[in-house]
Structure 1
Amino acid sequence: MFGFKIVENLQKMDKDIVRKDLKYHNKRVLVSKEFTFDAAHHLHSYEGKCKNLHGHTYKVIFGISGHVDEIGLVIDFSDIKQIWKEQIEIYLDHRYLNETLPKMNTTAENMVVWIFERMEHALQAFPNKCRVEFVKLFETPTSYAEVKREWMIDV
């Protein structure tokens, strides 16, 4: 059994490990990142509480897959965050969704497809055949809509 040990000799590149060994495999791997945002909306042609203006703290979970690069990464988590911040969140966080999203009923089911499409488009600029495998959009802690890659392709 391994006990706690203080590292005395930090592994050094080209001394203890060589660059060609940084990539361990050629498999497709899924990485996941989640974000939250607060927004207001209301639903059209709906006879329930949600026809009134109200808000949610939404949670979005992305599953992004790709092949690892020469150092063993599919995509840096900070790159996913940058796409989120610059190309998606700006339309969502602290916004009136009926005004900032395309003309649609702002249901979780419609919004999750829009979010998938935005992220998928942004990933085209990245190597490693990165692609969105799924997006989950939680409207409440116990209620969410989800879209998967195969559902977007096999319409």
Structure 2
Amino acid sequence: MQSNVVTCPNCGKRNRVPAVADGKPRCGNCHHWLPWIAEAGDHDYPEVVEKAGVPVLVDLWATWCGPCRMVSPALEQLATERAGQLKLVKIDVDRAPAISKRFSVQSVPTLLVVDHGEVVARQSGAAPVAALRSWLDNALAAHGTTKGGQ
């Protein structure tokens, strides 16, 4: 299973964070929550996204898409702000045609909020971080998902 190396926003230590885990990632040095950023595709979407113990922000993007590259840092910022509360999963639509078809992706970026396998919010197009934060907060609040980080 794949993993990413993430720098702890609290102490700066680099940590290996798996795409799939039973709990939520914590820094091995200071034990603060780490941003959980992973990639998924057609073959591992159910395990990486649907079985996550926290809400998942799914970024359906493409390498050739300028707005996708512009929104990516904003999504990573949100994942960092909500470390321990949210998982960000990036899916390249060109490498995951079944996922693209499943969610009827017509344009990229398309963002989904998925909680326990259920899509609770959807948005197409890039937006500034403040607008994305508001959209995400509203989606989580409407679905009754707390931001407590338990």
Quickly name the TM-score band, shorter chain normalised: under 0.3
What TM-score, normalized to structure 1?
0.27
Structure with the greater alpha carbon radius of gyration: 1
What TM-score, normalized to structure 2?
0.27
